[in-house]
Amino acid sequence: MSDTNEPILKFGIPKGSLQDATIALLEKAGWKIRQYHRNYFPDVNDKELKISMCRAQEMSRYVSDGTLDLGLTGKDWIQENESDVHVVSDLIYSKVSNRTASWVLAVAGDSPYQRPEDLAGKKISTELVGCTKRYFENAGIPVEVEYSWGATEAKVVEGLCDGIVEVTETGTTIKAHGLRIIAELMQTNTRMIANKEAMADPWKKKKIDQINMLLTGALDAESLVGLKMNVPGDKMDDIMDELPSANSPTIAHLHNSDWLSVEIVVAQSIVRDLIPKLHAKGAQAIIEFTLNKVI
Amino acid sequence: MSDTNEPILKFGIPKGSLQDATIALLEKAGWKIRQYHRNYFPDVNDKELKISMCRAQEMSRYVSDGTLDLGLTGKDWIQENESDVHVVSDLIYSKVSNRTASWVLAVAGDSPYQRPEDLAGKKISTELVGCTKRYFENAGIPVEVEYSWGATEAKVVEGLCDGIVEVTETGTTIKAHGLRIIAELMQTNTRMIANKEAMADPWKKKKIDQINMLLTGALDAESLVGLKMNVPGDKMDDIMDELPSANSPTIAHLHNSDWLSVEIVVAQSIVRDLIPKLHAKGAQAIIEFTLNKVI
Amino acid sequence: MSDTNEPILKFGIPKGSLQDATIALLEKAGWKIRQYHRNYFPDVNDKELKISMCRAQEMSRYVSDGTLDLGLTGKDWIQENESDVHVVSDLIYSKVSNRTASWVLAVAGDSPYQRPEDLAGKKISTELVGCTKRYFENAGIPVEVEYSWGATEAKVVEGLCDGIVEVTETGTTIKAHGLRIIAELMQTNTRMIANKEAMADPWKKKKIDQINMLLTGALDAESLVGLKMNVPGDKMDDIMDELPSANSPTIAHLHNSDWLSVEIVVAQSIVRDLIPKLHAKGAQAIIEFTLNKVI
Amino acid sequence: MSDTNEPILKFGIPKGSLQDATIALLEKAGWKIRQYHRNYFPDVNDKELKISMCRAQEMSRYVSDGTLDLGLTGKDWIQENESDVHVVSDLIYSKVSNRTASWVLAVAGDSPYQRPEDLAGKKISTELVGCTKRYFENAGIPVEVEYSWGATEAKVVEGLCDGIVEVTETGTTIKAHGLRIIAELMQTNTRMIANKEAMADPWKKKKIDQINMLLTGALDAESLVGLKMNVPGDKMDDIMDELPSANSPTIAHLHNSDWLSVEIVVAQSIVRDLIPKLHAKGAQAIIEFTLNKVI
Amino acid sequence: MSDTNEPILKFGIPKGSLQDATIALLEKAGWKIRQYHRNYFPDVNDKELKISMCRAQEMSRYVSDGTLDLGLTGKDWIQENESDVHVVSDLIYSKVSNRTASWVLAVAGDSPYQRPEDLAGKKISTELVGCTKRYFENAGIPVEVEYSWGATEAKVVEGLCDGIVEVTETGTTIKAHGLRIIAELMQTNTRMIANKEAMADPWKKKKIDQINMLLTGALDAESLVGLKMNVPGDKMDDIMDELPSANSPTIAHLHNSDWLSVEIVVAQSIVRDLIPKLHAKGAQAIIEFTLNKVI
Amino acid sequence: MSDTNEPILKFGIPKGSLQDATIALLEKAGWKIRQYHRNYFPDVNDKELKISMCRAQEMSRYVSDGTLDLGLTGKDWIQENESDVHVVSDLIYSKVSNRTASWVLAVAGDSPYQRPEDLAGKKISTELVGCTKRYFENAGIPVEVEYSWGATEAKVVEGLCDGIVEVTETGTTIKAHGLRIIAELMQTNTRMIANKEAMADPWKKKKIDQINMLLTGALDAESLVGLKMNVPGDKMDDIMDELPSANSPTIAHLHNSDWLSVEIVVAQSIVRDLIPKLHAKGAQAIIEFTLNKVI
């Protein structure tokens, strides 16, 4: 359907738990992706892109062998596949908490196991067989590692295995199953990865940079807000003392007045402490607003 | 889980019809509350708070006896329980309309009852037994007041009672049951209430003030918007005449120009009348934007 | 219910596929419409309006005969009904894509028909019987046109007719049924239409203008965003070269600095290309924000 | 897909409100119909049948012109289309009540109209335009009849027309809209109709008879149950007096006993009165069981 | 709506958790109840009945004072209300398990309380305030009993009370909250209760008996099945030894054969053990079928 | 929780697509399984059983090593795991069609591949890696087989592999993706498998036989129905000619009559042809009823 003379960047989006969050983030960044039933290449409003929906587990294979130029997947599955790809950036977002997740070793809460070495000779169930094997090999602990098709936590409870290696953001699900975490194998987060030959192609490199800048800008904006307030000229120094130093404020004189208009982008997480302080120091008409992108 | 040396404010959130609206409002204010299945103390991203989910009907009991330091509940249930608490603020928001609600006395549309005294000797069904009894006692009207487990409106229709005392925001549900309102017993809205001893503790008092300032600021922002426009210098006075006097606009000179940039926060409800007037007086590039908080 | 001395504008909103999008757009414009079960005249927070929910197919009849003063409906159904109404404005929005839609003539993908004239003597199924008949009459092609109660695409597949005339935004549904489009009969989009006598009444004319201005402003805002950035004074000309000429930016001096604050409203669709260029030319602290209305 | 030498009966099933009930009834009768997404000819486990899903409104057209051999549709739409078809049988079933439905003339509850003639010169809205016009013409009452795309009841309430002709089983929806029924135009129920040439083809006639026998048997079974009981020989005459005469019971001697086993098929609706009487007359071990088909 | 000369039995059905199960059971018994939106007296296909939907908690009040003639509610709420009614029968069915339920006293799993007396001076939260107070008074244990609007289990966990009295069928929910049961206050199940004057009215008494017979027969049938098998004449005694003695089988000679047909109604719960035994003893063609009613 | 002296059979039920069908079948057979949230050993109303929910893919591993005594899983996964287990029986049921399913080799509909050997040197994606590798090795065709985490059909369409090996009952999903089946690798259906040591334990063997008899009886009953009819004595031979020979009918004399009562269990699939024939030969009062079990 696309003219063969037009360059195209083949971009893989992860299916499954991260899919909706990824599509929403790309829309904020400026690319609208529409999936039609039984249309495997979702529409995107950019004729320079061809989108594929792939399992996160398989993504790095396809980026590595050039089936895709660019992909979003977890650091964990890149390592599991031992894929040779260029890491463009780390993007910390998730279905739940926008935190990094961890693969952890967990055992029954009432089991005697306290450290990984206590599992020598035991059976470990996991979806991440390769990394798990390498972890125990490096530690010199002989274990049997078995591929698990899912519901891995339940296997310890049912006595189908002795320990599991499973991914978690908050530990809640693992604790809710009555399990106890005894080691962390690896932290993971979403990564933008590119095929190495694609990175050597100037057109593709530039397109990847564009996507990365906008996607990063949209992701950053999710944890930031804009604050705007009016400040009497003589209180400006006091106010400046309270503002985080990272982002310098935009300050303008108000018309026919000694007051200044102060506008600044700050982390959403500090606002509830910052506003009372600014108010106490004399800032007035403080408004907070949402940002789509911050570059 | 929390170190006993760290001060903690115990904060009760009402379960049920207001729960989602309250959690959304707290998130806008800066506190993210996450409820896990079977976790009775929801997580909150503030280690100085411990959140409990309680029935609105029972909240004031717990605040009064110090089980909680702070709570959100209706004025109606505070009076029903005759609880001795400190009222921090009134917060007018609801599941439906952000208006205050009323407890009203209603009878069958085709009944002969026109005034409360017509119900002398009759049976009244209500969930608000205490306030209803006091209302009729003060009026010197002898009635039988019976506790209703719900679906109170239907009881009049089915002939199970003669009148009901029920809460309503718009009267729609009551009318839809073919009932007629003959008196208003009390108006009610959400109140932030605090334990009196907690108010005397400086750390708790300051924490309560912070929550109140941010929650009020987030609630106020829901009915306000920001407007920004460019105005020719010589039309500025005309434009000022149209702007509501309560909030003074932020006015700045534009670069190399006689035009001024005017920014103002106004009630959303007046915008549809204000914009045509501003436009007619010469304002240009008028944009409206949403606010998260206005302090 | 309304005092007969107060003027009222009777405004028809289309039921069905556009209903939710229309109500959302009106809310952004400043009118909150609430539909109660079995209340045929939805509530609106403007006592000068009376809202009716009507089928798009029937709207122009009611506007034409004065049952309604103002209505939103498709250009297609205005033509189908050959209604004599005043077109206030075209509003390009939809459930799906905010594009105009087309009524097209489609046949089975594996049929021999290539042009409309190939269907001479054949049966055409459509909901738009009048326009379809006129189209074929104008082209001098004799066909049988039959009213279809829905699921029109399937009729070609099942051999119940030879061709269909159906509406489509993207062609996706038609292709998904294995059909082939061989002609476009008409493009259509939502129109605001008014009764001609209502347009001659000054009060109604002014009310219609207000609704049109705010609705258009809210609709425009959906495809626009605000950008704000800080620019070094000596880079300002470079930056200006990149900005689209249609909307002039609002530029202000920053306090005690050579930098300028630049704010502009641009089409959302160009942002992903514009931001990298602005950044490359020296713009900093670029933020993008959403707009409710742009007048 | 089917060999052209094998005879096939083309059978139309009504889409929409009756679709699920019809497919369930056919399954009870012995034909399993499975609809795959985008498969317009649903699968059926009988290679002698080809099933089409059609609108009830259009069915009789297709049966009349031989596009289909057999179809299920309403008596109302057969008359509306004035289709020349063979009526195989009447099947009284529905989504709601397994009663016949009626098309009635209804007006606003508070309107002055009491009889059809009161509507002379007025506007009637209906989906059944043809029958409605003929009804008023036969009665010599001049009215304007307008096609309604749905939500017809609401049109009277909103003042868009003076009366409606609408279908109803129980009158509940009409009354719930505050309308009053002033005349019944026609009763309707589902009919099995066949193309007249198909009825003249012996193979098709036999296939149609088979479908009719089994479908009727399955439908009859829905309102019947089996009862089985043990009766002392000397009470048999008393018991016989209570049993409905239409269906003669199956009576067998019990082994080594004077007791008889009595089994009978009766209308479900009389069971609650019949069982207490049988029990009072000495029947024991009365069991009731469900029937799939009764031929 | 009903002629005042026709006798009517006013029958109350419990709203809420048992509602669907009750309506389904009544349908099996022979009464179809249809609830229309906003129709407080549901339709029933028996003009001798008038159905009301009432809270189980309030039912016995209405039966006691004659507002209703007959009602279904829990033994617990009859006792809570101390209502003077005639108990027609006990009906053991439920939303979950068709077992009786119990009101139990439960405390936090890790609390020191082991017996009711350990709660002397403590706070008990319950919806069943009256019975709970009487229980502790009878035991001479002073406690504070507080009405709970729901989610009672959570209150112990959150420290809002020391113990709860709550209803449970299996204990699962209570254990899932980490609570420990330390006493059972009362067992409860659904009861059919009648007004005492209604029982003295011969027509009402007979109607109540009919409803009770059919409802009991339908309920019994839920735990029973029919078994039918062919047995060689000489094995009949062996087979008889295996059959439960309560229900005598229906035995008939087969035509031109030494075999007997044996039919029996047995508890569903014993079938999985009974069938292998019958099969081992020579029974053949064993079929099991469902029963609607067993009287 | 269970006394160690009581023998227990550990029985594995497959999670996922077959789970609901399996639990429903076991309930018909006589075992009620109730799954509580976060209870990994579902409750079963038989203290001789302990139920585990396992992935079908992993079941045979656990049965083979004695973690479970008995399990239900697919023949395919038993072979994939090369597990050494005792096959108790084949149970042909499924979520969809109660037919056996097949693992097939499929390629893009427009690809040049016609036979397995055409895929030499190509990439095959499948969840059934072991069987697929063995299949191609046996055929002497060198291919690359890659584990697929799901959505395997889409991979051919997206160009991520050249062929797939996937399971299908009807081929519908494969065709709907535009793929073409070029070979069948294996047929599969659910199997009841037992641990070999468990089969040697008399108590466990007997329990397994009981489960197998009842489960098979319940499954058989799904495709059978009971027919009962009255037949004149002199037509009995004619009727017998029509009845399938496999199941001999139960025939009894009717009381005081020359008629016979004939009862027979037949395949549901032949009923629609059988009933018209029986009716034509003189059978009357033919009723069809459902069976729970047929042993």
**Which tens digits make up the pLDDT trace of A190-211?**
999 999 999 999 999 999 999 9
Closest CA to B164 of B108, B112, B117: B108
CB A124 within 8 A of CB A143: yes
Q: Is A211 exposed, middle or buried (0-12, 13-18, 19+ CB in 10 A)?
A: buried
Give the single-character DSSP code of B30: T
Which amino acid is located at A179 in the chain? L
| Residues in chain D, pLDDT under 50 | 1-3
Q: Report the pLDDT value the prediction gives residue A3, as an integer from 0 to 100.
A: 47
Closest CA to F288 of D211, D24, D28: D28
- The percent of residues above 90 in pLDDT, for chain F, comes to 74
pLDDT at C37 over 80: no
Contacts of residue A259, Cβ cutoff 8 Å, sequence gap at least 6: A230, A231, A232, A233, A253
Q: Is A6 exposed, middle or buried (0-12, 13-18, 19+ CB in 10 A)?
A: exposed
Contacts of residue A44, Cβ cutoff 8 Å, sequence gap at least 6: A31, A32, A33, A34, A50, A51
For B153-200, write each residue's pLDDT tens digit. Answer: 989 988 899 999 999 988 888 888 889 999 999 999 999 999 999 999
Mean pLDDT of C164-176: 88
Q: Report the pLDDT value the prediction gives residue F35, as an integer from 0 to 100.
A: 79
Chain B: residue nearest C206 by CA? B276
Q: Hey, is the C-beta of A177 within 8 angstroms of any chain F C-beta?
A: yes
Chain E stretch 256-275, residues whose beta carbon is closer than 8 A to a beta carbon of chain D: 260, 263, 265
Is beta strand F86-91 parallel, antiparallel or unpaired with respect to B284-290? unpaired
Residue F218 to residue E288: CA distance in whole angstroms? 9
The torsion of the CA quartet D157, D158, D159, D164, rounded to 10 degrees, works out to: -50
Residue B139 to residue B149: CA distance in whole angstroms? 26
Inter-chain contact E41–B154, Cβ cutoff 8 Å? no
Give Cα D205 to chain centroid, integer Å: 22
- CB count within 10 Å of CB B294 equals 21
Inter-chain contact F30–E285, Cβ cutoff 8 Å? no
Residue C19 to residue C25: CA distance in whole angstroms? 10
CATH topology of domain F9-96+190-200: D-Maltodextrin-Binding Protein; domain 2 (3.40.190)
Mean pLDDT of C7-16: 93
Q: Hey, is the C-beta of D242 within 8 angstroms of any chain F C-beta?
A: no
Q: Among D82-96, F191-205, F221-235, which range has the highest average pLDDT?
A: F191-205
Using the CB atoms, write b or e for B38-61: b if 16+ within 10 Å: eebbbebebebbbbbbbbbbbbbb
Q: Hey, is the C-beta of B96 within 8 angstroms of any chain E C-beta?
A: no
C-alpha distance from F191 to closest chain D C-alpha (Å): 26
CATH (one of 3.30.70.120, 3.30.70.380, 3.30.450.40, 3.40.50.720) for F223-290? 3.30.70.120
- Chain A neighbours, 3+ Cβ pairs < 8 A: B, C, F
Inter-chain contact E275–F253, Cβ cutoff 8 Å? no
CB C98 within 8 A of CB C169: no
Residue E174 to residue A32: CA distance in whole angstroms? 48
- CB count within 10 Å of CB C113 equals 17
Give Cα B71 to chain centroid, integer Å: 13
Q: Any bridge partners for residue F51, and if so which?
A: F11
DSSP one-letter string for E92-151: ---SSSSS-EEEEEEEETTSS--SGGGGTT-EEEES-HHHHHHHHHHTT---EEEE--S-
Which amino acid is located at C259 in the chain? W
Q: Which CATH class is domain C101-187?
A: alpha beta
Residue B140 to residue D265: CA distance in whole angstroms? 66
Same fold, C9-96+190-200 and C101-187: yes
DSSP one-letter string for chain F: ---TTS--EEEEEEESTTHHHHHHHHHHHT--EEPPTT-SS-EES-TTEEEEEEEHHHHHHHHHTTS-SEEEEEHHHHHHHT---EEEEEE---SSSSS-EEEEEEEETTSS--SGGGGTT-EEEES-HHHHHHHHHHTT---EEEE--S-HHHHHHTTS-SEEEEEESSSHHHHHTTEEEEEEEEEE-EEEEE-HHHHHSHHHHHHHHHHHHHHHHHHHHHTEEEEEEEEEGGGHHHHHHHS-SSSPPEEEEPTTSSEEEEEEEEEHHHHHHHHHHHHHTT-EEEEEEE-SEE-
Inter-chain contact D286–E292, Cβ cutoff 8 Å? no
**Alpha helices, DSSP H, located in chain B:** 19-29, 56-64, 75-81, 129-138, 152-157, 172-176, 196-200, 202-222, 236-242, 268-280
Q: Any bridge partners for residue D252, and if so which?
A: D261
Please name the member of F217, F260, F295 whose beta carbon is closest to the beta carbon of E255.
F260
Inter-chain contact F214–E287, Cβ cutoff 8 Å? no
Closest CA to A37 of C157, C177, F148, F108: C177
Q: Any bridge partners for residue C43, and if so which?
A: C34
Chain D: residue nearest E295 by CA? D286
**Of E193-202, E265-274, F38-47, which gets the smallest average pLDDT?**
F38-47
C-alpha distance from A177 to closest chain B C-alpha (Å): 12
- CB count within 10 Å of CB E106 equals 25
Q: Hey, is the C-beta of C173 within 8 angstroms of any chain A C-beta?
A: no
Q: Report the pLDDT value the prediction gives residue E1, as an integer from 0 to 100.
A: 39
Using the CB atoms, write b or e for B199-215: b if 16+ within 10 Å: beeeebbebbebbbbbb
Chain F: residue nearest A174 by CA? F38
Q: Any bridge partners for residue B293, and if so which?
A: A288
Chain B: residue nearest C224 by CA? B287
- Chain C neighbours, 3+ Cβ pairs < 8 A: A, B, D
Mean of pLDDT over chain C:
91
Residue F27 to residue F132: CA distance in whole angstroms? 36
Contacts of residue C237, Cβ cutoff 8 Å, sequence gap at least 6: none
Please name the member of A272, A279, A290 whose beta carbon is closest to the beta carbon of B30.
A272
Query: What's the sign of the alpha-carbon dihedral F21, F23, F26, F27?
Result: negative
Contacts of residue B223, Cβ cutoff 8 Å, sequence gap at least 6: B98, B267, B268, B269
**Of B2-6, C229-233, E25-29, which gets the smallest average pLDDT?**
B2-6
Q: Hey, is the C-beta of B36 within 8 angstroms of any chain E C-beta?
A: no
Residue E98's pLDDT band, with cuts at 50, 70 and 90, is low
Q: Hey, is the C-beta of E180 within 8 angstroms of any chain B C-beta?
A: no
- CB count within 10 Å of CB D164 equals 27
**Which residues from chain B sit within 8 angstroms of residue C30, using beta carbons?**
268-269, 271-272
Please name the member of D36, D46, D210 whose beta carbon is closest to the beta carbon of F276.
D210
Q: Hey, is the C-beta of A243 within 8 angstroms of any chain C C-beta?
A: no
Inter-chain contact B213–A279, Cβ cutoff 8 Å? yes
Inter-chain contact D252–F256, Cβ cutoff 8 Å? no
For F80-123, write each residue's pLDDT tens digit. Answer: 999 999 999 999 886 655 678 999 999 999 999 999 999 999 99
CB B218 within 8 A of CB B29: yes
State whether residue B104 is helix, strand or coil.
strand
Inter-chain contact C291–B287, Cβ cutoff 8 Å? yes
Domain borders along chain E are 9-96+190-200, 101-187, 223-290
C-alpha distance from E235 to closest chain D C-alpha (Å): 14
pTM of the full predicted structure?
Answer: 0.86
Residue B191 to residue B75: CA distance in whole angstroms? 6
Is beta strand F9-15 parallel, antiparallel or unpaired with respect to F49-55? parallel
Q: SS3 string of C186-209?
A: EEECEEEEECHHHHHCHHHHHHHH
C-alpha distance from C57 to closest chain A C-alpha (Å): 28
For B1-50, write each residue's pLDDT tens digit. Answer: 344 578 999 999 998 888 889 999 999 999 999 876 555 678 899 999 99
Inter-chain contact D38–C150, Cβ cutoff 8 Å? no
Residue B228 to residue C250: CA distance in whole angstroms? 10
For B109-124, write each residue's pLDDT tens digit. Answer: 999 999 999 999 999 9
For A132-148, write each residue's pLDDT tens digit. Answer: 999 999 999 999 999 99
Residue E267 to residue A134: CA distance in whole angstroms? 58
Residue E152 to residue E124: CA distance in whole angstroms? 10
State whether residue E35 is helix, strand or coil.
coil
Closest CA to B95 of B148, B64, B56: B56
CA angle D287, E169, E33 (to 5 degrees): 45
Q: How many residues does chain B have?
A: 295
For F131-147, write each residue's pLDDT tens digit. Answer: 999 999 999 999 999 99
**Alpha helices, DSSP H, located in C158-267:** 172-176, 196-200, 202-222, 236-242
Residue E267 to residue E220: CA distance in whole angstroms? 9
Residue B92 to residue E122: CA distance in whole angstroms? 37
Closest CA to D147 of A268, C127, A19, A174: C127
pLDDT at C1 over 50: no
Q: Report the pLDDT value the prediction gives residue C3, as an integer from 0 to 100.
A: 46
Residue B104 to residue E261: CA distance in whole angstroms? 70
Tokens of D144: 């304007």
- CB count within 10 Å of CB A67 equals 20
C-alpha distance from C92 to closest chain A C-alpha (Å): 18
